[in-house]
Chain A
Amino acid sequence: MDVLSLLLSNKIFLEVIYSFIISFICLAISFKSDRYFRLSLHSGLRYFRNAFFFYGLAFFWKFCFAELTGLNSFSIFFSQFIFESLLIMGGLFLLYSLLWKKFNPKPGFSSLINSKLIFLYLLSLVIALTDCLKGTYFLLFSSQTLIFLIAFILVLNTYKQKGNKPSFLKFYGLAIALGLIAWILNFATAFVFQWDLLLLISTGLLNIIFFLIVLLGILQVTNKIKKQ
């Protein structure tokens, strides 16, 4: 019990473990979706893979450099800027994976850089820079909340429109709803509850569940058919 309370009181240790778990899950999601993207060159799969690639990079960065925040103001600024930019890119790609058909992209676009995606990169850099200069997470939390809210509505709409309901789509909607709750909780923890540790841990757990549902979903939908 003492060991547990000691672990809980060590915020940096918790952050390192949390970042490691999420970056590992995201890496698995990226690998799995990359395989199907390479087979089909389907744009939705491309942006979906990119989303979890950026989420993975963000948490891998946090995993490697969580200690940096204890050094000086420049290292805090730099660490937060990279982390936020990657995280926002992840969110924007996730949203774009559900929206890409509306922008009618021509085939053959590069996976990570093209004229439309540059706008997303610029947007994430501006949001991250503004937050870092102000020393707050306000824009990160609000933009991610908005992204997850729109993503949730889009998935819900797709689910309603599909005649033959795909079995996992409702769980993907549920995962996005959990992600949305996690971002709202993040916002509340930062601006209402002064970074309350228990709330932070709950938010972290919700985030882990979100990424786990996505990973398990991919494993389920790509294994089911193989057995037939």
Chain B
Amino acid sequence: MTSKKRERLEVIRDILKAIKETRKIKPTRLLYASNLSPQMFKEYISELLEKKFISLEIEGENTKKQKDKEKKTFSLTKKGQDFLQEYKLIENFVENFGL
């Protein structure tokens, strides 16, 4: 089986799509869905949080004892939804101008 290395924009689209499908998704499930190494996943997630394409919600008390019970979930922001909606156009623009 031959597999083509995904472009950066494609990876971002895949992550956002995975979040969109479930509305809220846990980090571990998102890691599997994104098909990335943990290190790469961390980089992409920091970038997406910084760009405000996704948001991180933490439920539960933030004490040391309760840390295990903390529930982290990612959800899509309005900006992330806009990106997904116009993804094809953005990809087309970037590809056609070699950017």
Task: List the interface of chain A (C-beta within 8 A of B).
Answer: 33, 36, 39-42, 44-45, 47-48, 97-98, 107-108, 154-155, 158-159, 162-163, 166-169, 172, 217-218, 221-222, 224-226
Contact of A40 among B46, B90, B95, B96 (CB under 8 A): B90
| Most A-side CB within 10 Å, residue of B95, B96, B98 | B98
Contact A221-B93, Cβ < 8 Å, known A39-B82, A39-B86, A44-B99: yes
Are the CB atoms of A172 and B96 closer together than 8 Å?
Answer: yes
A107, chain B: closest CB distance, angstroms: 5
Contact A155-B98, Cβ < 8 Å, known A39-B83, A108-B50: yes
Return chain B residues, CB-CB under 8 Å to A47. Answer: 99
- In the bound complex, how far is the Cα of B83 from the Cα of A206, in angstroms? 36
Are the CB atoms of A217 and B97 closer together than 8 Å?
Answer: yes
B39, chain A: closest CB distance, angstroms: 15
B interface, how many residues as a size bin?
A: 20 to 34
The number of inter-chain residue pairs (CB within 8 angstroms) is 75
Contact A98-B90, Cβ < 8 Å, known A39-B83, A107-B47: no
Contact of B9 among A40, A48, A98, A172 (CB under 8 A): A40
| Most B-side CB within 10 Å, residue of A33, A39, A154 | A39
B94 within 8 A of A: yes
22 contacts across the A-B interface (CB closer than 8 A): A36-B86, A36-B93, A39-B79, A39-B83, A39-B86, A40-B90, A42-B90, A42-B94, A44-B94, A44-B97, A45-B93, A48-B99, A98-B99, A107-B51, A159-B98, A166-B92, A169-B96, A172-B96, A217-B96, A217-B97, A222-B93, A225-B88
Return chain A residues, CB-CB under 8 Å to B51. Answer: 41, 107-108
Are the CB atoms of B98 and A169 closer together than 8 Å?
Answer: yes
Q: Is the interface of B mostly helix, strand, loop or mixed?
A: helix
B89 within 8 A of A: yes
Q: Is the interface of A mostly helix, strand, loop or mixed?
A: helix
Return chain B residues, CB-CB under 8 Å to A44. Answer: 94, 97, 99
Return chain B residues, CB-CB under 8 Å to A222. Answer: 89, 92-93
B96, chain A: closest CB distance, angstroms: 4
